[in-house]
Structure 1
């Protein structure tokens, strides 16, 4: 049975559906927002929330729910896992498989060439995975590191992988860190690529990228090459770097002549602060860990070292010369060599 919450001062309401426990969380967080005067800004508006598989909580509500998590050292997850798409590159060896997690606006295909090389070099099975709201994985209004860890945990269970080597780049690196801290028994080794457990907002221009992507309009039934050119022309005003435009354009898809973005821009925009931040943990991951940065990138700085050592006491921090944030694209051979060496150490 739905519950309707009326704003005491505005002509607005919130309709809440779902199990009693989840409705309770929503009511309490909405009440807090009403008291602070920050939830509804339009005089006549009505928001519908369905607290089911894809419950839609804002950043503030997610933060409030995490604060009352049932486990003292583990943030609570407010949404059920979604199905993830993945590719498998089979190796002949019996060693623990490698699992690659891409960054924001990326996909599992970002690591295909790297995966093939590592299969040949190590003999291990390699998986590349699409995160929720990316690639061909299921869309959800929620995109937090706790939720993405839940997705990955479910996938590994479905594939009967009891332990893996997690390798994550940027956003994927934060998913990998969160998984190691929340589910350490699943992670034999951890590789974090050009990211740290610190806030990354000052280093990014993602709000402009999202705005530019939302404003792109491509006519129906034009050739794909024309669609890409038109989309890039429209992105150019806000996205100055050609390499970034080309990266974003990998998300342009066509279905029945209609072009759209395969990433869930609304969810990413609504949870961008969650993506830029990192959950608070009082636990640590004791397994072998490699933080691999690029010398031309500022995502892993000396200011991050104390927090890295607190959460990952067995971490080794290395840098690849002349590499930017996209280390695996700039220096693929050095990247592969660093991972291979780490696996043998």
Structure 2
């Protein structure tokens, strides 16, 4: 059977070609998952760093729920080439090649970056976060504005998004997948796709979720930590209450076909991010970088100019 709760472990590390630096780390747990308010222990995140000019703020990309750093591969390469800046893509905890932890709070995810970015000498940076990554980016900017030169929140706001999100049903559907051991990968993927289809009708979304299906010792499992997601899904769809504001330039980049950031969210955006600009990408849904990659890159470059 598919062991969805199996921790995803990656045991190899090294340096990639053409200036790509990889940090791959084994799965781990954090002491920050209990009910107390102790400061979360940062985890060593997996990342890819494209080299560039050291004197200009680097671009740092944070993916959304169920995503990984590879979601931004082509965009990162394009922006590194076009801007000459360093570009960092990061796997959030419980995603991609980063360690697993029972704590999936935004405070913990912000702490991971507060630990990583100074280590890489990438502060202050331009922080670009999509969906869950956008909320992590916003919280980090509010907590540590000295680390963030400017901020881009992609189709997300500092407001609860439960009413428009299907993510809880996605988590439940992924947990229910049942795949026999020792079947070929193509067969396993087909079985998972068929079982997800009753809940996730959109083929593109199913294909996105299936990028997390991996084989470990002959068994198929999810490399995302579905236990932690199920435990924290309401918290992920919310946003930690904040009183302080972020004084830096901020862009809220919205999908023209998305309902994630309605006008009712704008007052809270203006309160927390008084220098916020709003820009809509036509013919784009929630995953703007996938739907309209050239427009996405152009919007980022325009904001940097």
**Shorter-normalised TM range:** 0.7 to 0.9
Residue of structure 2 equivalent to 1:292: 253
The answer on 1:141 being equivalent to 2:102 is yes
Counterpart CA distance in 1 for 2:53 and 2:31 is 39
Check the 8 A contact 1:93/1:123 in 2, yes or no: no
Counterpart CA distance in 2 for 1:211 and 1:316 is 36
Residue of structure 2 equivalent to 1:161: 122
Return the index of the structure with the highest Cα Rg. 1
Structure 1: 5+ residue runs without aligned partners? 1-51, 66-76
Residue of structure 1 equivalent to 2:179: 218
Tell me by how many angstroms 1:154 deviates. Answer: 0.6
Aligned residue for 1:291, secondary structure, equals strand
Larger RCO, structure (CA 8 Å, separation 6 or more) = 2
Counterpart CA distance in 1 for 2:84 and 2:30 is 38
Residue of structure 2 equivalent to 1:203: 164
Residue number among 272, 281, 302 corresponding to 1:320 in the alignment = 281
Residue of structure 1 equivalent to 2:19: none
**TM-score relative to the length of structure 1:** 0.78
Residue by residue, what CA displacement relative to the aligned partner does 1:14-45 show, whole Å, maximum 9, x if unpaired?
A: xxxxxxxxxxxxxxxxxxxxxxxxxxxxxxxx
Counterpart CA distance in 2 for 1:218 and 1:89 is 37
Structure 2: 5+ residue runs without aligned partners? 1-28
Tell me by how many angstroms 1:92 deviates. Answer: 4.5
Residue of structure 2 equivalent to 1:54: 31
Residue by residue, what CA displacement relative to the aligned partner does 1:185-244 show, whole Å, maximum 9, x if unpaired?
A: 000010000000110000012221111111112222222221111110111111111111
Residue number among 91, 105, 113 corresponding to 2:52 in the alignment = 91
Runs of 4+ in 1 over 4 A off after TM superposition: none
Residue of structure 1 equivalent to 2:69: 108
Counterpart CA distance in 1 for 2:43 and 2:227 is 17
Counterpart CA distance in 2 for 1:229 and 1:53 is 34
Tell me by how many angstroms 1:90 deviates. Answer: 1.6
Counterpart CA distance in 2 for 1:53 and 1:292 is 33
**TM-score relative to the length of structure 2:** 0.88
Tell me by how many angstroms 1:93 deviates. Answer: 6.1
Tell me by how many angstroms 1:56 deviates. Answer: 2.9
Counterpart CA distance in 2 for 1:287 and 1:181 is 10
Check the 8 A contact 2:127/2:137 in 1, yes or no: yes
Counterpart CA distance in 2 for 1:56 and 1:188 is 30
The answer on 1:236 being equivalent to 2:210 is no
Counterpart CA distance in 1 for 2:179 and 2:60 is 35
Residue of structure 2 equivalent to 1:4: none
Aligned residue for 1:271, secondary structure, equals helix
Aligned-pair RMSD on alpha carbons?
A: 1.3
Residue of structure 1 equivalent to 2:144: 183
